[in-house]
Structure 1
Amino acid sequence: MINGLIGKKIGMTEIFLDDGTVVVSTVIEAGPCFVVQKKTAGKDGYESVQLGFQEVKPQRVTKPMLGHFKNAGAPPLRHLVEFDPEGEDYNLGDSIDVGIFNEGDIVDVVGNSKGKGFSGTMKRHNFSGQPASHGGMAHRRPGGIGQASYPGKVWKGMKMSGQMGNERVTVQGLSVVRVDAEKNIILIKGSVPGPNGGTVLIKRTTKGRIESAAA
């Protein structure tokens, strides 16, 4: 069975389990996704299935991509991502929904974190800052970023001010709390990267962790 789906983050809520435990969960609309392309080891060097998610108007898609979707018998879609079919045979145009997941499954969720804009080192890298009183004039400045004539440059990777957030982030080992196949909704314990309405990838974990949804 394919190891993941594309989804859209809806928001967060609370779920009460049978024993009264409250589980804070993220609501994700996962699928339906359509099989748009199949890649084989003989032709492409590896096995994968390309899934598409979120239908769009035909005029929003380029002509080459319209042909791509037409060949697959699928509607025009906004997002395309490849997943490992894990030995399962799928046909072009097949629809895959959230039913591939079960309550208690452990998943990894990939998304783009919320953008924070241009941020200083105290916010971006958790610098402690410099003296706030006694005549100090460099309260939130980063401090030194290198040496003098040697090496005469700023080393790559130096922690400095810059764009914060809007990066690809993976959160691993999250539990599936609820699955609603009729509404294509999946509830995952805890928080996942990105804003409400952001696109996320839900994949079965590769680390083999086993825990209950109430843990």
Structure 2
Amino acid sequence: MSSINMLGKKMGMTQLFNEQGNIIPVTILKVGPCTITRVENQNIQIGYEYINPKKLNKANLGYFNQLKLPCFKYLKEYKIGSLSLNESNIGMVYTVKQFKVGNFINISGISIGKGFSGYQKRHNFSRGPMSHGSKNHRQPGSIGAGTTPGRVFPGKKMSGQMGCRKITIKNLKIIDINYENNILTIQGSVPGKNGNLLYIYTK
């Protein structure tokens, strides 16, 4: 199967039973339809989710009017091989019909933000003893030597912002496809909360 790149949204998670009676955790995705908005060199740009033209500024509105295409809320650009480039034209629409049950896909998205988190939650550090007299319950312990080097090295595992970063989950199996409603059912979990924008692609 040639490379397929589309945008979609996470609808939620549930579980299914396979033929052996085992529970499979699955995620429901609403994928596409995506329209090709630009083809340049070996780059292709796709648009996802129609939007009211009144909500766009003049620059973006003029861009879509020049292409004689509907206005899209999201645009995504990616590289594609020269063979597939010849088969791609502006205005072509991709749907879930590009996928097949049993195929494996990769999904990228922004993970759920957890805010400023401590050592135990962010890096799975073990806590100190909780007995009376202990003054090391949730402290990090030593973070470096004293005189030499006299500083803390960059990248040290410490407290800080957790989550809200790009995560890619690879080789997720497609369990079921609903062609009428553009819905994919995949095995496993994907980044982000319900309604999160996802980038779905194959290699």
**Is TM-score (shorter-chain normalized) higher than 0.5?**
yes
1:117 is aligned, of 115, 118, 134, to 115
Distance in 2 (alpha carbons) for counterparts of 1:144 and 1:17: 49
Which range is displaced more, 195-204 or 74-83?
Answer: 74-83
Question: Is 1:143 aligned with 2:144?
Answer: no
CA contact (8 A) 1:13 1:26 kept: yes
SS at match of 2:177: strand
- What are the ranges of 5 or more consecutive residues in structure 1 without an aligned counterpart? 41-46, 207-215
8 Å contact from structure 1 (residues 36, 68) kept in 2: no
Root-mean-square deviation (CA, aligned residues, Å) is 1.7
State the alpha-carbon separation in 1 of the partners of residues 16 and 155 from structure 2: 42
SS in 1 for 2:88: coil
Which whole-Å deviations, capped at 9, do the CAs of 1:96-124 have from their partners, x for residues lacking one?
11111000001111111111111001000
Question: How far 1:20 moved relative to its partner?
Answer: 4.5
Contact 2:44 2:80 in 1 (8 A): yes
Q: Which amino acid aligns with 2:171?
A: G
Aligned twin of 2:51? 56
Aligned to 2:63: 68
Is 1:97–2:98 an aligned residue pair? Answer: no
Aligned length: 199
1:79 and 2:74 equivalent? yes
CA-CA distance at 1:129 after TM superposition: 1.8
Note closer, same or farther for the CA distance 1:84–1:181 as it changes in structure 2 (3 Å cut).
farther
Please tell me whether the aligned partners of residues 119 and 162 of structure 1 are also in contact (alpha carbons under 8 angstroms).
yes
Aligned residue number for residue 165 of structure 2: 167
**Residues 3 and 83 of structure 1 are in contact (CA less than 8 Å); yes or no, is this contact kept in structure 2?**
no
Stretches of structure 2 that go unaligned for 5 or more consecutive residues are none
Task: Give the TM-score normalised by structure 2.
Answer: 0.90
Shift of 1:21: 4.6
Q: Residue 150 of structure 2 is aligned with which of 130, 149, 152? A: 152
Cα deviation, residue 153, structure 1 = 1.9
Give the Cα separation in 2 of the matches to 1:56 and 1:193. 24
Matched, 1:180 2:175: no
C-alpha change, 1:129 and 1:19, in structure 2 (3 Å) is closer
Give the letter aligned to residue 37 of structure 1: R
Structure 2 residue identity aligned to 1:111: G
1:189 maps to what in 2?
187
Task: Give distance in 2, aligned partners of 1:33 and 1:155.
Answer: 45
Which residue of 1 is the match for residue 129 of structure 2? 131
- Paired letter, 2:199: L
State the TM-score, normalizing by the size of structure 1: 0.85
**2:37 alignment counterpart:** 36
The percentage of aligned residue pairs carrying the same residue is 38
Distance 1:115 1:160 in 2: 17
Q: Which amino acid aligns with 1:203?
A: Y
Which whole-Å CA distance do the structure 2 matches of 1:149 and 1:140 have between them? 26
